Structure 1
């Protein structure tokens, strides 16, 4: 079996799917890529038994067809150092000897049988499908992924929850301290459904969707989801379990509203939080008429900082404490020039919303407060 392929085209496909390969696999063959040659199309598969990525690349001067596996390390590391040029793959499917010829040399190594690579189970007949713009999916995952948990006791919190209604799609993520709810009204589904996308495939999608401009099709049943675009297909096992009622934790009546420039607030937090206690990262927000004071201190090392920012606020004076790292993450994942901080009292969650939502979107972020010592 023999074929020619562009080195950069092959490398870019291998790099995009290699992100799912785990550093330690239960099956040794999962350290390899699965290749299937059929006509002038070479299909490449990578998997870690939970998540599977499939893509393809065009090849030329083909003779023969078949299925074979090549170690990720054997192929990726040398290809990264090669400039753009045609590669010729020459394989003996009986001995599994692989010869890769390029401009000034060749590699020679032994592959593995492709028929021992684990196969993917098809979706059940009652699977639900919906289609959306790739950038919409990227936006939903990017802005909610940071709020997911790493909780072995509550695995349902370790992923992005897709809450699908007939007239909108809501992305939800929470770790118990912070929560993101991004509702998009442009996605429609034939029926009410939901699933929890684990963190690893969500991260892989985040890296790949930036290059995609077409529609994405998502099909899922109780156990697995198939996410496909013209360039790739991902199959991943979903997190099983019931996601908590996220709407019940969002406070509805927030009498105090602070409208503030997002970048001024974000940069002030980054400067002041340097002087907070490293263990708690506590910052204090003190609201007065049209002014917010951001302060932090570390009693152990006698360091402190405070900064005043102009804002729109006309309620009674109040103070509230937040974990600076969480607040910085939240503000970094909002695109609006100004944000509104909605508060009820120092012991209840603060709600942060953009003043200008993007078209068809409704974004809400929530952060639990911390106790102030004074």
Structure 2
């Protein structure tokens, strides 16, 4: 194998793949990236592949291929070396034979890296993916951003450790009237449900749970694309084609709970408040306590919201949002929520937040007043 590639192009691809490669494992080759040089010539292609056996990422970049071939080298080490090369450098990679070290040269810098054989690198490309649809990158990014904060990190309830993507019927406040593509995440304390119009080809897809790590890797890729993302899936595997990058992942083998049962339907006490006013007030009063789980209390009366928090060691804090900043015309109410959970939800809202309460002990429904595609459920804390 022998090739030349621009340092910036190679670095960008290595940044994508090295985060998937397992740095600590009992199978050494999982820490490596496959470098596969194809199509000899100035318009050749270098394909980089990494996997941890749960996720695989493949990226194609342009390279000047003098001699096709393939090998594997430690992903983190190669990324670090290329990262420290000067901007604009041309990286030359060459290998005399399949068992020989991989030589890297850039200007006057030279190094050689031990390799492992490509034949031992595992593949995740087995089986067909019968369901396929295209979704705009910005739309998929919104689905991920507005739900991922609610993914559970509790490993015992593994079926909550991801985003549930499925087809669902529209409800009364949905964007459309027909079936919708819906993303849901919950950790038992809060729930996020976001939907978009059903893409062509998605109607028959099974409901799938996309693992947390896959969600995080996918989100990194979505920052760099505005065009369509091709999604292919089966009941056990999902694949995202994002430009020149293919991300493949196993799905969580479990049953997502019947989340609709926890969404309140009859919460009639409505508070409407500006997102920025509310979020800033929550942050200020919560600063009195260093305990992440300490609640912020909301005391509501006609067009008045009083937020307060207290700490046995630090003291108390409160702030009022009066008429003009908070609209409420229902029975007076007191309810408490964890400050971090309130901020996680308000971060997803553009302008005005709408809270729908039943009483101080029941789940609260939260919506973006200007965006019917998303709703959130928040469990109260005792205050």
TM-score > 0.5 by shorter chain: yes
Distance 2:308 2:70 in 1: 62
The residue that corresponds to 2:93 in the other structure is 89
Give the alignment's Cα RMSD to 1 decimal: 1.5
1:340 and 2:354 are equivalent in the alignment = yes
User: Any gaps of 5 or more consecutive residues in structure 2?
Assistant: 169-177
Count of residue pairs brought into register by the alignment: 365
Distance 2:18 2:133 in 1: 27
The residue that corresponds to 1:75 in the other structure is 78
The residue that corresponds to 2:167 in the other structure is 164
1:309 and 2:321 are equivalent in the alignment = yes
Cα distance, 1:81 vs structure 2 = 1.2
2:328 aligned counterpart, secondary structure: coil
Cα distance, 1:279 vs structure 2 = 5.6
1:228 and 2:230 are equivalent in the alignment = no
Distance 1:277 1:34 in 2: 46
1:100 and 2:111 are equivalent in the alignment = no
Distance 1:170 1:279 in 2: 30
TM-score, length basis structure 2: 0.92
Cα distance, 1:109 vs structure 2 = 2.5
The residue that corresponds to 2:6 in the other structure is 6
1:120 and 2:132 are equivalent in the alignment = no
TM-score, length basis structure 1: 0.94
Distance 1:124 1:90 in 2: 35
Distance 2:138 2:38 in 1: 31
1:320 and 2:339 are equivalent in the alignment = no
Distance 1:294 1:102 in 2: 60
1:52 and 2:56 are equivalent in the alignment = yes
Distance 2:259 2:165 in 1: 12
8 Å contact from structure 1 (residues 212, 231) kept in 2:
no
Distance 2:314 2:143 in 1: 42
1:333 aligned counterpart, secondary structure: coil
8 Å contact from structure 2 (residues 32, 73) kept in 1:
yes
Cα distance, 1:302 vs structure 2 = 5.1
Between 9-18 and 87-96, report the one with greater CA deviation: 87-96
Distance 1:328 1:190 in 2: 34
* 1:234-249 equivalence runs, <5 A: 234-249=247-262
Distance 1:9 1:261 in 2: 43
8 Å contact from structure 2 (residues 206, 234) kept in 1:
no
8 Å contact from structure 1 (residues 5, 59) kept in 2:
yes
8 Å contact from structure 2 (residues 131, 205) kept in 1:
no
1:364 and 2:364 are equivalent in the alignment = no
The residue that corresponds to 2:173 in the other structure is none
* 2:149 paired residue among 146, 151, 157: 146
